[in-house]
Amino acid sequence: MMTLIGRNLSPYTRRVAIAMTMLDVPHAREYLSVTADPERGLEINPVGRVPALQLEDGDTLIESSAILDYLMDLVGPAKSLIPPHGKARRDCLQLMAIASGVLDKSVNAIYEARRRPAEKIHEPWRQHLLRQATGGLNALEQRPQNPWLQGERLTMADITTAVTVTFLQAMLPEVIGSGLYPKLHDLTARAEALPAFQAHKLETP
């Protein structure tokens, strides 16, 4: 059986866990914190990050987008949560890139504030990162929802957006403020009510 490595505190790991449950891909789980166990992080991933997906043939995949690409290929085009062709595929990958870009900037802003001694935090840089995260959130908020970002079928664009918003609500509430992104909050509430999201709730540190 495959093993997904990483905790649900990691939104990148969480989006893979949710997709695996939605797609009924059997898997075990190793709830690794690379902060607590950096040696194990480097064992499973040359750059020491989660998620990683250990396959039955002994290979280990890293990088959530590459792991998702593998999983979508495995389940085939009819079940895939990333549309297989054309404009819908391009659109899905772009929406995922915006949402994961928001995550990258937000995670870096959190590291800037929490991983440095107080006198070494460079507030202008943290603000720059938060402005970039806000740019991505504004772009996602403008996107119509019918009822999902790509129409009637939920895709990885929705999963990535919802895990991002939930992560920000817990970790950077000042950025996602409840009145600021009504459509994103609505989409996230609908997604978080789904059984696959409930099965992999965000952990808090």
Ligand X SMILES: N[C@@H](CCC(=O)N[C@@H](CS)C(=O)NCC(=O)O)C(=O)O
Three-state DSSP at 65 gives helix
Three-state DSSP at 53 gives strand
Q: Which is nearer to ligand X, 121 or 180 (CB)?
A: 121
CB of 127 to ligand X, least distance (A): 21
φ/ψ of 128, rounded to 5, equals: -60, -45
Residue 64 interacts with ligand X (CB under 6 A): yes or no: yes
Residue 136 interacts with ligand X (CB under 6 A): yes or no: no
Residues 88-117 that bind ligand X (CB under 6 A): 107
Residue spans of alpha helices (H) in the chain: 11-22, 38-44, 64-75, 86-114, 123-142, 156-171, 173-176, 182-192, 195-199
Candidate ranges 48-56, 77-85, 118-126, 193-201; the one touching ligand X (CB under 6 A): 48-56
Residues touching ligand X, count (CB under 6 A): 11
**Which residues, 6+ apart, have CB-to-CB distance to 105 below 8 Å?**
129, 130, 132, 133, 136
Candidates 2, 4, 5, 49; binder of ligand X (CB under 6 A) is 49
Residue 167 interacts with ligand X (CB under 6 A): yes or no: no
Candidate ranges 63-71, 83-91, 150-158, 191-199; the one touching ligand X (CB under 6 A): 63-71
Distance CA(181)–CA(132), nearest Å, equals 16
Residue 188 interacts with ligand X (CB under 6 A): yes or no: no
Distance CA(68)–CA(19), nearest Å, equals 8
**The dihedral formed by the CA atoms of 129, 190, 183 and 101, expressed in degrees to the nearest 10:** 20
Candidates 5, 17, 34, 154; binder of ligand X (CB under 6 A) is 34
CB of 61 to ligand X, least distance (A): 10
* Binding residues for ligand X (CB under 6 A): 10, 12, 34, 48-51, 63-65, 107
